[in-house]
Amino acid sequence: MSTLSSVYKKIIIRDIISETQDVKTFKLGYADGSPLEYEAGQFITFVFPKHELAEERRSYSFSTAPKIDDVPAITLKRVTNGEYSRWFIDHAKPGDALLTIGTSGYFTLPDDLGKYKRLILLAAGSGITPIFSLLKRALQEYPSLQLVLIYSNRTAADTIFYNELIGLQQEYSERLTIEFLFSTSPNLLRARLNKGLLENLLKKYSHDDHAQSLFYLCGPYDYMRMATIVLQTEGVPPENIRRENFAIVKPVQKRFPPDQEQHAITLYMEGNRYTFEVQFPETILQQAKKNNIPIPYSCESGQCGTCAATCTKGHVWMWNNEVLTDSEIQKGRVLTCSGYPVGGDVVLEI
Ligand SMILES: Cc1cc2nc3c(=O)[nH]c(=O)nc-3n(C[C@H](O)[C@H](O)[C@H](O)COP(=O)(O)OP(=O)(O)OC[C@H]3O[C@@H](n4cnc5c(N)ncnc54)[C@H](O)[C@@H]3O)c2cc1C
Ligand code: FES
């Protein structure tokens, strides 16, 4: 593990806004005044030192969008018994400092968004955070795009950004439709998002023209699983479904690289050149950590994209990839946390 060092930047909580009973928005800025750069839909990863050689990491999506919101902000829900979310909600105050490895993530709008007719956003609870950021950007930058938000909560009072969303719906009434679903609703046909309800909403908004619809999903594991299965069963192409997973459950590794020999990695990162040998069972990230090479990471299981690099020579085989799309893989993007060099030496750039 790399020791706490200059690779981490200090960030300051500038302001805190209460959203619902257990949700707050935290406005952030770098302590040295440099701009906090990110894209709509991305997240920031904090590093929490435990003691001299141990640390923990947590990632939080931006609820703001660059150029639209003045100050970058994250929106966080208190998780019962959650170590860091409880600290944020119960104890954090303006002026508090945190350490970060920076921003990352692939839950962003594609460069070719203009070729789609509509964006269908599905969010549940705090899953609205990156979706709200994407929604604001899409409304502002893609005037010909139709937008649908299907947003599940317990009640209106628990609904994060409820008033802001109603405001957007009024402002963009020609282009934006919001379906608020409340699980406590007595009308069971419009309560919890289930298979039948999602099928109906899909017919209503995507018609049978699914190739022209791009879907973004963020919510609890079971919600995302159900929604993904329904969308795929109804004929939505898998590459039109983007997902952001908040609850990282490390999967058991069941696939192993076809080549388990030792190979050399050359890594170019922030003006530095690192060389090291990687041999199965160590992944590229695991070996880099042992060598104190500060590759950014968060989930360590192929689910967030923080550790991504571009492979400019050789091949990297990944045992799990839940974030990189086919087009990103074609550009050479690989995940170092689940990646092994295969078939020879490898050159990477971060
Ligand atoms: C890419 C990414 C983006 C994220 N963005 C956001 C965001 O915008 N807003 C936000 O509030 N959170 C977000 N999260 C979740 C966040 O990183 C933490 O997992 C969450 O705050 C819980 O951390 P903790 O230290 O409080 O809980 P821990 O101490 O890690 O966990 C305590 C208990 O809660 C369970 N748990 C952990 N995470 C969750 C969860 N998300 N939901 C339900 N139960 C959980 C654990 O299994 C454990 O039983 C994001 C996660 C990822 C990977
Ligand atoms: S650290 Fe999350 S994908 Fe590698």
Are residue 222 and residue 269 in the same domain, yes or no?
A: no
| Domain end point (choices 211, 244, 277) | 244
Amino acid at 339: G
**DSSP annotation string for 86-112:** HHHHHT--TT-EEEEEEEE-S-S--TT
Q: What is the pLDDT of residue 189?
A: 83
Domain count, the chain: 3
Q: What is the pLDDT of residue 188?
A: 83
In a domain, 4, yes or no: no
Q: What is the pLDDT of residue 2?
A: 38
Helix (H) or strand (E) holding 206, with range, is: helix 195-206
Say if ligand 1 is within 6 A of residue 61 CB: yes
Give yes or no for residue 302 having a pLDDT over 80. Answer: yes
Give the model's confidence band at 201: pLDDT under 50 very low, under 70 low, under 90 confident, else very high. very high
Nearest ligand to residue 222 Cα: 1
Q: For residues 243 and 221, is the Cβ–Cβ distance under 8 A? A: no
In a domain, 85, yes or no: yes
193-218 average pLDDT score: 95
In a domain, 255, yes or no: no
- Give distance in angstroms: CA of 95 to centre of ligand 2: 30
Say if residue 281 is preceded by a cis peptide, omega within 30 of 0.
yes
Q: What is the pLDDT of residue 50?
A: 85
Q: How far is CA 171 from the centre of its chain?
A: 27
Helix (H) or strand (E) holding 333, with range, is: strand 333-335
Give the model's confidence band at 4: pLDDT under 50 very low, under 70 low, under 90 confident, else very high. very low
| Domain end point (choices 244, 279, 294) | 244
Write out the two tokens for 336. Answer: 């170092």
Q: What is the pLDDT of residues 167-178, one digit of tens each?
A: 999 999 999 999
Say if ligand 1 is within 6 A of residue 58 CB: yes
Task: Supply the CATH number for residue 19's domain.
Answer: 2.40.30.10
Domain residues for the domain of 282 are 263-349
Say if ligand 1 is within 6 A of residue 334 CB: no
Give the model's confidence band at 250: pLDDT under 50 very low, under 70 low, under 90 confident, else very high. confident
Separation of alpha carbons 88 and 76, rounded Å: 8
Determine what percent of the chain is predicted with pLDDT higher than 70: 98
Task: Give the phi and the psi of residue 193 in degrees, each rounded to 5.
Answer: -70, 115
Task: Supply the CATH number for residue 308's domain.
Answer: 3.10.20.30
- Name the residue at shortest CA distance from atom 50 of ligand 1: 246
- Give distance in angstroms: CA of 216 to centre of ligand 1: 19
Give the model's confidence band at 3: pLDDT under 50 very low, under 70 low, under 90 confident, else very high. very low
Among 46-55, 148-157, 215-224, the range scoring the smallest mean pLDDT is 46-55
126-149 average pLDDT score: 97
- Give distance in angstroms: CA of 109 to centre of ligand 2: 20
